[in-house]
Amino acid sequence: MEKLLELLEQDCTMPVEQLAAALGEPPEAVRAALKQYEKDRVILGYQAVIDWDQIRRETVTALIEVNVTPQSIDGFDRIAERIYQYDEVESMYLMSGSFDLTVIVSGRTLREVAQFVASRLAPIQGVTGTATHFILKKYKEKHLVFRPQDPEEKEFIFV
């Protein structure tokens, strides 16, 4: 049921009954599929996308380019694991191109993030260099745009 995954990716708060009707499947089948996807970790979790700026909570996010020396047996995976185990790491990807890993780190303050890079990330054996880019403004995440709703006057036309 790939369509089920697409629907959930758009809005994971849809109740099973709605998903079932939208897919044209019985609710039990949808429930079973969900259970299986969760068990197989095809569905990793369900999270909200939040615009923290609106509630004035200070957060800082940085995108860090990391260069590493791959290890002979596990290649990049072993060293990657050493990095992503830290709670501060929000997302992480292996990259093609001029650096190896993209690490997205968030913290409460600039200092907190800088501290993480200097004292945790850089000293890890195999990490040969880092470049930290702080995110200044979020425009869009997961297809959702960070922008307050434009006030729109309600106007109706009979069509």
Partner 1 sequence: MTYENILNQRIQNVKPSGIRKFFDILEEMTDAISLGIGEPDFVTPWHIRDAGIYSLERGHTKYTSNAGMLQLRREIAAYLNRRFDLQYDYASQILVTVGGSEAIDLALRVLVDPGDEVIVPVPSFVCYGPLAEMSGGVPRYLTLKAENEFRLTPDELRAAITPKTKVLVLPFPSNPTGGTMDRKDLEGIAEVLRGTDIMVLSDEIYAELTYGRRHVSLANLTDMYERTVVVNGFSKSHAMTGWRMGYVCAPQPIVAAMTKLHQFGIMSAPTTSQYAAVEAMRNGDRDIEHMREEYDRRRRYLVENLNRIGLHCFEPKGAFYVFPDIRATGLSSESFCERFLLEEKVAVIPGSAFGPGGEGFVRACYAASMKDIAEAVARMDNFLTNLRRKQGKEVLS
The nearer residue to partner 1, 46 or 158, going by C-beta atoms, is: 158
Taking Cα atoms as reference points, which of 56, 123, 66, 58 lies closest to residue 94?
66
Q: How far is the CB of 40 from partner 1 (least distance, A)?
A: 24
**How many chain residues bind partner 1 (CB under 8 A)?**
15
Q: How far is the CB of 135 from partner 1 (least distance, A)?
A: 23
- Give the range of 9-17, 33-41, 90-98, 143-151 binding partner 1 by CB under 8 A: 9-17
Is 46 a binder of partner 1 (CB under 8 A)? no
Is 155 a binder of partner 1 (CB under 8 A)? yes
- Residue 12 backbone dihedrals phi, psi, to 5 degrees: -85, 5
Q: Which listed residue (9, 12, 15, 71) binds partner 1 by CB under 8 A?
A: 15
Q: How far is the CB of 6 from partner 1 (least distance, A)?
A: 9
The nearer residue to partner 1, 44 or 157, going by C-beta atoms, is: 157
Q: Which listed residue (12, 16, 21, 95) binds partner 1 by CB under 8 A?
A: 21
Contact 33, 63 (CB under 8 A): no
Binding site for partner 1 (CB under 8 A): 7, 11, 14-15, 18, 21-24, 154-159
